[in-house]
Chains A and B, each alone.
Chain A
Amino acid sequence: MSLIEIKDLHATVSDKEILKGIDLTVDAGEIHAVMGPNGSGKSTLAQVLAGNPAYEVTGGSVTYDGKDLLALPPEERAQHGIFLAFQYPVEIPGVSNAYFLRAAYNEVRKAHGEEEVDPLEFADFMEEKLALVDMDASMLNRSVNQGFSGGEKKRNEILQMAVLQPRLAILDETESGLDIDALRIVADGVNKLKRPDNATIVVTHYQRLLNYIVPDFVHVLVNGRIAKSGGKELALELEDKGYDWVTSGAPVGAGAA
């Protein structure tokens, strides 16, 4: 059984149709890259899968782990193992990162009928997670994302992912605002969290991140539909030829560049 099966998905934001029939199937153990030009709908797809109420699903279906994903509120999706790494992580002043992470971890545990962990147990648990994204324990005492640099915010997203151990992680433009060192740390973290029973969807505009998180499949989103799918070499081809190559409809021969 596929981990997630998206069929003919349509979605609008402020009455404007953004997704116009997406079909995508992801199996456990796979990494899929979703690429596309600005406005193609790739971030919308990520938000819709995570359940952002700002987007309205107007058609199609999403089956996740045998469940009707679209019927679940965002918190239940998360409790069932969906994780969205935000392109723009939200700052929450006054709420410490430690409190936030433990609250999220306990909510997911609670949903699975497991006991909540106390702050001491959680501190032990956090040690290896912090090492994974090369973060200092002092980051836990700071307010969630407040005053974090772009790189720190993205590392904090991967830290959350490490804590929640999702079955399907969706990375939305994670490379934006990262220098090469931060990019490497973030990608490293994602790779280390890869297991045979989970999957990752990497939403990205640039091929750069895919040098570090190597996809099994690449899909090119154009105008709300998947225009082309292929293996990891498709990303390199796109980098080389630009999105016009796909959007113009007629593939350009290799020699024409």
Chain B
Amino acid sequence: MAGSAAEPFVEAFDELTSDASTPAWVQSMRRAAFERFGTLGFPTTKNEDWHFTSVSPIADHDYVFLAAKSGDVGRDELAPFTFGATGWYTMVFVNGRFAPELSDIAKLPNGVKVWDLASAWTKVPDVVDRVGKLATYDNQAFTALNTAFMLDGGVVQIAKDTEVDRPIHLVFVTDATAAKGMMHPRNLILVGKHAKATVIESFVSTTDAVYLTNAVTEVSVGEGATLQHYKMQRESARAFHVGTIEASQARDSHYISFSLATGAALSRTNVYTTLDGEGSGATLNGLYMANGEQHVDHQTQIIHAQPNCFSREMYKGVLDGRSHGVFNGKVYVHPMAQKTDGKQTNNNLLLSETAHVDTKPQLEIFADDVKCTHGATVGQIDQTALFYLKSRGIESALARRLLTYAFAAGVLETIEVNEVREALEKMTLERFV
């Protein structure tokens, strides 16, 4: 029996799990997860992982589960979110459900296969049996809730030795019909041995409605493979967003993650990776920008489980108005993970007296021959630089924007996909006017 936290969700859950066309093994996974969510409940600030983020604004709302296809989004409305790129392999999901008419996956190159999760259960059960193996939910209430309600999402499989020529873009868009709705997108990305690919996930909106996105993406990076994985959180200004990425890396693999968070009233992004093979490396970068009353939280976790692995992490935050930023960067180095080389930095720029940030590096090292550093800074606009720009005739507002951009530039320049980098540079310049 599900506990009290699950009660508001029982009716929708019963309806979802009564659908006879879904395989029994999926239904039993959902049931186990729902049971667990009932026990865990939404996390409180007493939970160390949620100390700086109260999810009561999320828990205080009632949501309609958007099980059926809904919404009316035109291709032209997607233009602001597709980086001006053409020819990318794109899967679009409207209000949580796959929209083939907006997607471009007819001409996938050899070695690349994609499915929508809702049909993958029956079409390729041997592929999607990885679902739930990578993202565990014993202590993750939102992942448990996602697993209970998982229905649709992108399944991406890259065969071994395949170098994918263009990015694969998973676009999750909401429109006004998503108001008061909840979505639990579930994605699976499997990158084969020595393959190389770029996958971008975008969470965007054409509305200013209140809704909840609670996404989980599971990632497996095979031996010697490289995955560039960008997550763009640009939800409605009144939305709630929780997004969890859990990656597992084989030997000599490289997982490169970039997380952008600019949308939502309250957002939490978790990027977790386990370096589970010798010689593997993880690069986790990100940029969060908030103003008004926004709350934007990132938690990253890098588990060094094997020797001779590296991790590089750079997160930058720009906070204006009364916004609140949170960064918690965990690095675990297991006893056998000798020769670990880890570096973490988190820099924050506060543009107002009322913005604030909590930054918490958290290194737990159980091996003795490692090199791990971390550093966090919180600062304001450099007055000398501001005067320098003004002394050249540049108006105060533009000068502040240029310096904000300059602050973010260091992490933006790590983005290897030109269209994405240029779009984010422009966005950064225009974000704080």
Chain A neighbourhood of B393, CB < 8 A: 75, 78-79, 104, 107-108, 111, 164
Tell me, rounded to whole Å, the shortest Cβ–Cβ distance linking B432 to chain A: 15
Total contacts A-B at CB 8 Å: 81
Report A76-103 residues with CB < 8 Å from chain B CB: 77-79, 83-84, 86, 89-90, 92-95, 100, 103
Q: How far is the CB of A195 from chain B (nearest CB, A)?
A: 19
Tell me which of B383, B392, B410 has the highest count of chain A C-beta atoms within 10 A of its own C-beta.
B392
Cβ of A54 within 8 Å of any chain B Cβ, yes or no, is yes
Partner of B384, one of A73, A77, A90, A94: A90
Q: Is the CB of A50 within 8 A of B413?
A: no
Q: Which residues of A contact B343 (CB under 8 A)?
A: none
Most B Cβ at <10 Å: residue of A84, A95, A143: A95
- Stretch in contact with the other chain, from B97-105, B293-301, B396-404: B396-404
Q: Given the interface contacts A53-B387, A90-B384, A90-B388, does A95 sit within 8 Å of B394 by beta carbon?
A: no
In the complex, B183 has a CB within 8 A of chain A? no
Cβ-defined partner of B405 (8 Å) among A90, A95, A108, A160:
A95
Chain B residues with Cβ below 8 Å from A73 are 390, 396
Does B398 contact A94, Cβ atoms closer than 8 Å? no
Q: Give the size category of A's interface with B.
A: 20 to 34
Q: How far is the CA of A74 from the CA of B399 in the complex (A)?
A: 12
Would you call B18 an interface residue if the criterion is a C-beta within 8 Å of the partner chain's C-beta atoms? no
Collect the chain B residues with CB atoms within 8 Å of residue A89's CB. Answer: 388
Cβ of B21 under 8 Å from chain A: no
User: Is B131 interfacial (CB-CB < 8 Å)?
Assistant: no
Residues of B within 8 A of A53 (CB): 383, 387
Taken residue by residue from 340 to 367, chain B's Cβ proximity to chain A (1 for < 8 Å, 0 otherwise) reads as: 0000000000000000000000000000
Q: B114 at interface (Cβ–Cβ under 8 A)?
A: no
Report Cα–Cα, A146/B398, bound state, in Å.
20
> In the complex, what residue of chain A is closest to B399 when comparing beta carbons?
A75
Contact residues, A48-64 vs B (CB, 8 A): 50-54
A40–chain B nearest beta-carbon distance, Å: 22
Determine if A74 and B408 form an interchain contact, defined as CB atoms under 8 angstroms apart. no
Report if A75-B412 is in contact (Cβ < 8 Å); known contacts: A92-B385, A92-B403, A95-B405. no
Question: Whole-angstrom distance from the CB of A56 to the nearest CB of chain B?
Answer: 14
Query: What separation, in Å, do the CA atoms of A51 and B383 have in the docked complex?
Result: 13
Nearest chain A CB to B59's CB is how many angstroms away? 40
Q: Separation in Å of the A249 CB from the closest CB of chain B?
A: 36
- Does B108 belong to the interface (CB within 8 Å)? no
Is B406's CB within 8 Å of the partner chain A? yes
Tell me whether B388 and A104 are in contact (CB under 8 A).
no
**A107 and B394 contacting across the interface, CB-CB below 8 Å:** yes
Whole-angstrom distance between the Cβ of B285 and the nearest chain A Cβ: 15
Contact with A along B80-115 (1 / 0, CB 8 A): 000000000000000000000000000000000000
Residues of B with C-beta under 8 A to A86: 388, 391
Query: Are the C-beta atoms of B392 and A78 separated by less than 8 Å?
Result: yes
A158-210 residues at the B interface, CB under 8 angstroms: 160, 164
Most chain B CB within 10 A, of A53, A83, A104, A111, is at: A104
B409 located at the interface, meaning its Cβ lies under 8 Å from any Cβ of chain A in the complex: yes
Q: Are A94 and B387 in touch, CB under 8 angstroms?
A: no
Q: Please determine whether A90 and B385 come into contact, CB atoms closer than 8 angstroms.
A: yes
Considering the chains assembled together, what is the distance between the CA atoms of A35 and B406 in angstroms?
Answer: 36
Contact A78 B391 (CB under 8 A): yes
- Whether A103 pairs with B398 at a CB distance below 8 angstroms is yes
Which residues of A are found within 8 Å of B394, using beta-carbon distances?
A: 75, 78, 103-104, 107
Q: Mark B399-431, 1 if CB is under 8 A from A, else 0.
A: 100110110111011000000000000000000
A143 vs B389: C-alpha distance in the bound complex, in angstroms?
Answer: 14
Tell whether, in the assembled complex, residue A93 and residue B388 are in contact, meaning their CB atoms are under 8 Å apart: no
B221, chain A: closest CB distance, angstroms: 30
| Given A78-B391, A78-B393; 6 other pairs, CB 8 A cutoff | A52-B387, A73-B396, A90-B382, A94-B412, A95-B402, A103-B402
A residues touching B (Cβ–Cβ < 8 Å)? 50-54, 73-75, 77-79, 83-84, 86, 89-90, 92-95, 100, 103-104, 107-108, 111, 143, 160, 164
A-B contact pairs, 26 of them (CB 8 A): A51-B387, A51-B390, A51-B391, A52-B391, A74-B387, A74-B390, A78-B391, A86-B391, A90-B382, A90-B385, A92-B385, A92-B389, A93-B410, A94-B413, A95-B402, A95-B406, A100-B389, A103-B394, A104-B389, A104-B392, A104-B393, A107-B392, A107-B393, A143-B409, A160-B392, A164-B393
* B interface residue numbers (CB < 8 A to A): 382-385, 387-396, 398-399, 402-403, 405-406, 408-410, 412-413
